[in-house]
Structure 1
Amino acid sequence: MGNGIVENLKFVWECILQVIYSDDEKCILCKSEIFDKECICLECKKRMKLCKDSFDIEFNKIKISAYSVSYYSGIMMELILKLKYKSNFKAGETIANYMISLIEENNIKFDFITYIPMNKVALKKRGYNQSKYLAQIISDALKIPIIHCLEKTQETKDQIGLNYSERWKNMCQCFKFVSNRVNIKNKKILIVDDVITTGATAFYCAYELIKNGSGKIIILTGAKSKV
């Protein structure tokens, strides 16, 4: 009987703790209350302007397939800015979950996942690579290996404020494939980034993989702007 009383008391205590430390939180965007494990509320979800179709990034007669979850505006823009500049990793989890859904809905197949690298100065300043963070969540969820095979060898100007041709010139020859880390020959690879504008950054990363023998490259971002 004593054990039964103890178990009942433990159950009551756990119920009290659940009330005190409820998992119910507020939407990370509008601060309204939510009652599930999501980070944004239903109303914010409804305002997301989702992209339905794939698109191509083409330069010098080379064409790369790409997908984006949403346009870079409204809700998605807020999520990306929170992840990128406010270290809000719940925003990152939300973006990554949308990316995972897109992969599953479009039945996108690949052997490896990689991401857009940052140079050492920028990485030290921010403390983390938001694209790597998104890629890791996708890798963990889909059980597909993430490979750290690209390096950014040159410090570049911020793409913000540059026109189309300046963006392409700014990214040219600043990425390097690290060949001793993984064999990518004929492997289908997903490149992850937070947002794509002209496509220059993603294209040159893809081109590095193609030059080193990869199979098909697919680019996936949380948002797209002018592409």
Structure 2
Amino acid sequence: MGNGIIKILKFMWDCVLQVVYDGDEKCILCEKELYNCNYICADCEKRIKFCNDPFDIKFNNIKITSYSVSYYSGAMMELILKLKYKSNFRAGETIANYMIDLVKREKLKFDFIAYIPMNKSAMKKRGYNQSRYLARIVSDSLNIPIIDCLKKIHQTEDQIGLNHDERWENMRECFKFIDKINIKNKRILIIDDVVTTGATTFYCAYELIKNGAEEITVLTGAKSKV
């Protein structure tokens, strides 16, 4: 019953988007005319500096394998900013589709998909969690359940403007596992829009590891300074 309702709601949302964007066949970044089913043109896609290799986020002798679609620059940075601050969900869909391609290309295996949570005040201000939005698209495409298993329990400073050590201290003990879901011996993919020092994703991953997860992989739209 629950899955059926979700599918109906998703269908209704897709219908709404078709009405809102009907006839809009321009690149969402440069407004060049498009003649395919993409949301960005070939020239803008060329401005995405794709990442080719995984990398590790390390802290206290714990290592988390991570992947990013691209570096946080050029067209990818513009897409992420449009999603986060302009509520441009076509930009989010574009980022998520690149994520899906990466998962398939790297043959990543996981049982659940999680995402970086927001605190209540930030959620109220923005109206949506961009990481959950990306996770939902990936989940629907790959038919792998998304789980709401993490909660942000402390208000934190904006990470922008903080140095490496300040970012790690800012996020320490900031997240809590919601134990209504059994993740013991499960492989979990954590999704976020951008990873910088890795502090946020590490502490989320650490909460899942402490509560029995077998393996954590991080996937982001972009990476910066990792």
How high is the TM-score relative to the length of structure 2?
0.90
Are 2:219 and 1:220 aligned? yes
Deviations 1:152-211 (A, max 9, x none): 00000000000000000000001000001x110010000000000000000000000000
Structure-2 residue corresponding to 1:119? 119
Preserved CA contact (<8 Å) 1:92 1:133: yes
CA drift of 1:22 comes to 7.0
Structure-2 residue corresponding to 1:190? 189
Q: Distance in 1 between matches of 2:35 and 2:184?
A: 47
SS of 1:26 mapped into structure 2? coil
Q: Distance in 1 between matches of 2:136 and 2:91?
A: 14
SS of 2:91 mapped into structure 1? helix
CA drift of 1:34 comes to 0.2
CA drift of 1:24 comes to 5.7
Q: Distance in 2 between matches of 1:48 and 1:162?
A: 26
- 1:1-227 correspondence to structure 2 within 5 Å: 23=23, 25-180=25-180, 182-227=181-226
2:30 maps to amino acid:
C
Structure-2 residue corresponding to 1:9? none
Q: Kindly tell me: are residues 195 and 178 of structure 1, through their superposed partners in 2, closer, same or farther at Cα, counting changes over 3 Å? A: same
Structure-2 residue corresponding to 1:7? none
Whose radius of gyration is greater, 1 or 2?
Answer: 1
Q: Kindly tell me: are residues 165 and 87 of structure 1, through their superposed partners in 2, closer, same or farther at Cα, counting changes over 3 Å? A: same
CA drift of 1:23 comes to 4.3
Q: Distance in 2 between matches of 1:90 and 1:221?
A: 17
Aligned-pair identity (%): 70
Deviations 1:4-30 (A, max 9, x none): xxxxxxxxxxxxxxxxx9746100001
Give 5+ residue unaligned stretches, structure 1: 1-20
1:153 maps to amino acid:
I
Structure-2 residue corresponding to 1:14? none
1:202 maps to amino acid:
T
Over the aligned positions, Cα root-mean-square deviation in angstroms equals 1.0
SS of 1:28 mapped into structure 2? coil
Q: Distance in 2 between matches of 1:41 and 1:26?
A: 8
Preserved CA contact (<8 Å) 1:24 1:36: no
SS of 2:97 mapped into structure 1? helix
Deviations 1:23-77 (A, max 9, x none): 4610000110001221000111112100000000000000000000000001000
Q: Distance in 1 between matches of 2:59 and 2:46?
A: 35
How high is the TM-score relative to the length of structure 1?
0.89
1:188 maps to amino acid:
R
Preserved CA contact (<8 Å) 1:24 1:33: no
Deviations 1:70-113 (A, max 9, x none): 00001000000000000000000000000000000000000000
1:130 maps to amino acid:
Q
